[in-house]
Amino acid sequence: LAMDSPGHSPTFAASGGRGCGPFQPSSDEDDPVVHEPRSLFGALDHSREGSVDPTSFWDKTLRGVSGGVGGVRLVAETAAHETNALLGTTSQGQAHGTDDETLEMYFADGKRRAERKLRLVRHPSSEGEVAHFDDDGVDDGALPTEENAYAPRLPPRDDRFHPESLVDVTALRNAASKVESSYKNYEDLDESRNSENPRSPEHVPLSPFDTLESRSFPGDTGTAGISFAVSKITHREIDGSTHTHQHKLPQVQSEEQLGFQPWRLADLEDGVEHDLVSDSPPERQKDFIDESEMDRDEVDGYGTRSVMGKHSFKTALNRQSSIANRKDLLWKLSSSYLSNDVPSIQKSLVQHVEYTLARRRYKFDRGSFYQATAHSVRDRLIERWTDTQQFYASKDSKRMYYLSLEFLVGRSMGNAVSNLGLRGAYAEALRQLGYDLEDIMAQEKEPALGNGGLGRLASCFLDTLATLNYPAWGYGLRYKYGMFEQRLVNGKQCEFPDYWLTRGNPWEVERLDVKYNVRLYGKVMTYVDDTTETTRFTWEGGEVVVAVAYDTPIPGYGTYNTNNMRLWSSKPSTNEFDLASFNAGDYYGAVEAKERCESITSVLYPSDDNANGKVLRLKQQFFFVSATLQDVLRRYKKRLAPGRTLKQFPTKVAIQLNDTHPAISIPELMRLLLDEEFLSWGEAWEICVGTFGYTNHTILPEALEKWPVPMVEELLPRHMQIIFEINHRFLAQVELQWPGDVQKLKHMSIIEEPTSECDVKMVRMAHLAVVGSHVVNGVAEIHTALVKTKLFPDFDAMYPGKIVNVTNGVTPRRWILQANPAMSSIFTSILGPGWVNDLRRLKTLRPFANDASFQREWTSAKLSNKQRLAEWVKENIGMELMTHAIFDMQVKRIHEYKRQLMNVLSIVHRYAVICSCLEKDRYRIPPRVVVLAGKAAPGYDVAKKIIQLACGVAKMVNNDVRCVGTLQVVFIPNFNVSLAELLIPASDISQHISTAGMEASGTGNMKFVMNGGLIVGTRDGANIEIAREVGGENVFSFGATANEVAALRASMHTRKPPMDQRLLRVIRMIRSGVFGDPDDSKCLMDALDVDKDYYLIGHDFGSYLEALDRADLAYADRRGWAAKTIRAASSMWLFSSDRTIKEYADKVWGMEPSPFKPPHHQSNSAVLTHGAGKEARDSGRAGGPAMDKR
């Protein structure tokens, strides 16, 4: 699907002076568009034959304008000149381009390509300049007025699709004027910052495009076309101030805005914008020194060499001069960023094939070229990555560390080239070498570092943290085999190791120099500190495992900031190979220690239904947090400034615990501060509480981890002592607040006393996380309310305001821009690229939900996504899907509370209805394709039985001729991020039908609605907030509410509610063996008895079927359905992870963004300030001397 990408430049190509009209190639042979690759995001212009000028690519592609050989024009002229060409408008006093400049923009679906050709038109001026006319003789040079300021950007052409021309002018203007009121809630987040301090040069916009789009130059009086007018709507609301946009429409978008290049971001200095235009890559930063650049024994804590008494002052100066000279030389050897023109990229690819992979350059294969492309992209990531970390260190920014046991990152290549703005360049470079970028990206093996929503949420957060310029790292484990690879054998789930590292991982950097010892078992010794005469503790003996770091750069979109994800791999400390045992014939014993250590990071979530599994899980968690905290402390101590001690640790470090898995980090940090830094208990505890924040993701008892005290005492003896002390001091506070209340003490204690179900004491990790954190947050409004009232009511009473809500969000970069390029192109062509980092702009599309032309293109995009999925299913599963049917999806982790079983039962009911119908009535049933996907935990037998039943139903339905054209069911195995990117854009409805009160938030519901699907769901998790934002009429809700669930369960045994007759028929069919051996599903059917139905499937089944019927009826009205999906998709800004991270930064971490911008080359560049006049601009056009205040 070829299209213009948000963030990638439309192609400018010279016409070669062949006498063609403006932007009109003389023939297909001369037109580069004809031969461009049809990649997802269009193609970049490649150099003409014979062109050897290395700067020509930068002139044409990176700047979007051809200014002659080696010529570079001022941004002011470039922005106005190129934007007016795109928008079909002109500005007063604005000169126009020459006939040797050509603009090519493409829009196409899978079967067609529509070429756009634009013309530059010159206005009649006071000097009597001649107006340029189109081929039909019509003057296109009329200046826009107030009435046509919102005119479509591009003129419609016959059957070509121009989304921006579909919109009613008056309606859009009205929408733009009214949309402010819907953003008030979000503005409140910045109210304290903006109300007293209007936008200043240091203000960092939510979207990097805010800086791009706020340019204004003297003499420019032109008004904006539709894309810019809409894209600027939200900036006045974000800033909460009167900026240059208040009294007139802002200046039109420049070419960089329609296709950003990060090095073109405007700089703000002393309240003045400086636009620098470079015809080569920008310089790398020279001034910032990272904390690890110098050896610790040579450099003191302030970055300058210590002067020892035995050295003279002159010797010290000589040493400092030597360091400066060495630094200068090292910088000069790599003073600028890598070039990103097509020839440079091709050279990089070939070099990596030949030198990195040691393959012959003339014998390539897709696997080799994937590796070479990954290394080439990684080179460009690493230079930004290292410079960003140096920048953070030099600014001494507060950093946030996100601790998560899983990161479901998905494939990296597409995300990297998109965020770098290089998708088109790599597509063209590969095309010329005979490869397709999409085929190359498909070679990537998805990392097996996560399981479900928890890991995917963590990855969305890392993307957003980099995009919004927050200094942050993600920490986790590098699993050798991940969760598992799911295969279906005779309809049953079978688990196989996921060998995702077989061919290596080119995106990671092994840090053999970053290692930490992690101790397990052993004993605790005491001694008296001679200085303070206090008793101290030391942990000795036991087994020591080495944590080795693996780093992966995480790039932001529209910014240079590139953050880091550091994963730990376990290695043995000594005696990796016991030669004596080997020589004695004990071959397994020779490597036993190695295998025992490496097993810690072998598998994600080892089964804990046995004692050894529990021990391995706790080992994993402690190994992970111990290495992380040692790393964080080391980094902080190397940046100690005058007057700063460990007491200021919380002012420079924030640590977020993603669920209870990393909660053991609280006693571990206490151990490090007490036993290794020799702080007092009070000092250490104050630091600990001020540093940690805890995110609760569930109220399910089985998911709130508890560890047997004897097991913890054996594995982590010192930590058990610390936990006991924390609990003792905490319960003393509880006693003070509620004297004599034994039940309060029992309920709030971190240590759970033995019960009838468990005969040993248990450590409640969730209680430990609450006590040891300064903020606890839920992830949806209803979930946070349940945390306060049901899970931790006593803690909420003791610490009012400590428990807050931060509703989850997902990144639109991954889940709209990458996953759904068809829909993305519609948004971009109307709104410009700024929507990618600011989903509030989509709100202005709601008034056009009923526009027939807009609906036609919207549904066409949906159909293309369905066809793409159908092709994949046919190729991989061998089944042909009905693309005209409603696509009904439930794709998520398999669990009883998520109620996939109820979905399967509804399929059986629909199958029964179809079979009982006369043939003539069968065709009146709306055709439906039901898609199921998800993994069951290896030890979760009930969930596996649900998968088996679903596969049995699918087999029966798909082989019954009565269902042809009416019903299809498919279970897609091994669900992962890549499959989600394929499935979600193709959905019409998605099911989020958990028992109310049991789903914390969910993020799948957000992704589906963002991609134009509607929800069938309960009033649970984020479903409630989504319904409020998109409108209740656009969500098909059903079932008991969270408040009703508890009462229904309590009265279940006494009231014996009658079972729905339709459900009874379904159960009879399943028990009869129609869908397989009834013994396999017996436990599932037994659980549906009215006095055992814990998940209330029987209670909700009737209203669930009614909700599905309402969805079928709504889908039958295709125009009405299209209007619903447009309104829903354009109302999802609240569920962007950009909003979520900003709330975390304000409510939990107390952080500010730190945007990194490298210096630019001084040659052939010019600076234009707001005060510069025509003379400066003329000088810039003529290639005059550069001006740079820096």
Q: Which residues are catalytic?
A: 697, 892-893, 898, 1003, 1007
Q: Rounded to the nearest 10 degrees, how much is the dihedral formed by the CA atoms of 653, 656, 661, 666?
A: 40
CB 379 within 8 A of CB 338: yes
Listing from the earlier edge strand, what are the strands of the sheet with 706-708? 706-708, 762-764, 751-752
Helices (H), 149-295: 169-178, 184-187, 191-194, 208-213, 226-231, 233-239, 255-258
Element spanning 1024, H or E: helix 1023-1030
Element spanning 736, H or E: helix 717-737
How many CA atoms lie within 13 Å of 924's alpha carbon, on the beta-carbon side?
6
Structure tokens at 332: 């000069």
Angle between helix 852-876 and 821-831 (nearest 10): 150
Instruction: Return d(Cα 1013, Cα 408) in angstroms, integer.
Output: 23
- The two counts, helices (H) then strands (E), for the chain are 46, 27
Q: Which of 821, 782, 776 is nearest to 801 (CA)?
A: 776
Tell me how many degrees the CA angle 1139-243-1145 measures, rounded to the nearest 5: 25
Q: Tell me the DSSP string of 636-690.
A: HHTTPPTT--GGGHHHHEEEEEESSGGGGHHHHHHHIIIIIS---HHHHHHHHHH
- Amino acid identity, residue 507? W
Q: Tell me the DSSP string of 185-210.
A: HHHGGGHHHHSSS---TTPPPSSHHH
Instruction: Return d(Cα 1157, Cα 1180) in angstroms, integer.
Output: 23
Instruction: Return d(Cα 232, Cα 388) in angstroms, integer.
Output: 29
Angle between helix 941-958 and 900-916 (nearest 10): 20
CB 657 within 8 A of CB 692: yes
- Amino acid identity, residue 682? G
Structure tokens at 735: 């006693």
Question: 1188 exposed, middle or buried (CB, 10 Å; 0-12, 13-18, 19+)?
Answer: middle
Structure tokens at 283: 């310089």
Could you give phi then psi for residue 473, rounded to 5 degrees?
-125, 150
Helices (H), 421-489: 423-432, 437-441, 453-467
Q: Which of 1, 109, 106 is nearest to 859 (CA)?
A: 109
Question: 62 exposed, middle or buried (CB, 10 Å; 0-12, 13-18, 19+)?
Answer: buried
CB atoms within 10 A of CB 835: 29
- Amino acid identity, residue 901? L
